[in-house]
Amino acid sequence: MKRLAIIGAAFALAGCAVLEPAIVLSRGEIGQRAFIDRREFDLNKVFKGMEGLSITGPDVGFQTAAQRLELAWTARPKESPLGIPLSLRVSLSGAPVLNAQKNGIDLADVRIEEVRLPSIPFVNLDTKQVRQSGESLGTLPLLQFQPEELNRDGVVYRATGISLGTFGLRVDLAPK
């Protein structure tokens, strides 16, 4: 009987932890919203002169041990030379942090992780040639929270912390 009471109390405490307000973003949600919500960093401007390329991504990965997000893009020519399916894959990673206004997420300490040609497995481009080894690109704005994410049932919330898990990025909220 005592054991049953302990198990019941454990479930009650776990239930309270679940009720804390939070924003949980999956890989797919981050991929859809990455770099789109912010006006300061527009990838369409970066890729503007590349009409002959088909660009897909970002594919989002979680580096849970390092607490970093990885984003990868693949570029393919719309018409492959000699019928060879060429592509270039570029990935970068950064630590997710709250922005200064606490209304979005930035990537801190952004680094180029990989530049490779997947269709030619024996060729990998050295990221040291792209940037100096270990050099950080700085901080890039990733996404902004939607108004409905910070205003629930008439209560206005502010972001207080970020944690990265296997299944998503969790942003803890507290009433303002």
pTM: 0.74
**Is 10 contained in some domain?**
no
**Tokens 């507290």 found at:** 174
Q: Who wins on pLDDT, 42 or 105?
A: 105
**Tens-place pLDDT, residues 143-175:** 999 999 999 989 999 999 999 998 899 999 999
Residue 107 within a domain: yes
**Does residue 1 belong to any structural domain of this protein?**
no
According to DSSP, the residues that pair with 63 across neighbouring strands are 68
Any idea what the CATH number is for the domain that residue 22 is in?
3.15.10
In a domain, 2, yes or no: no
5 domain residue, yes or no? no
124 within a domain of the structure (yes/no): yes
63 Cβ neighbours under 8 A, 6+ residues apart: 69, 70, 93, 164
Q: 32's torsion region: left (phi>0), alpha (psi -120 to 50) or beta?
A: alpha
**Residue 109 in contact with residue 1, Cβ under 8 Å?**
no
Q: Indicate whether 40 belongs to any domain.
A: yes
Segment among 12-16, 24-28, 81-85 with least mean pLDDT:
12-16
User: What residue numbers bound the domain in which 137 lies?
Assistant: 18-175
Residue 36 lies in a domain: yes
51-104: pLDDT as tens digits: 778 888 899 999 999 999 999 998 888 887 666 778 888 899 999 999 999 999
Question: How many domains are there within the chain?
Answer: 1
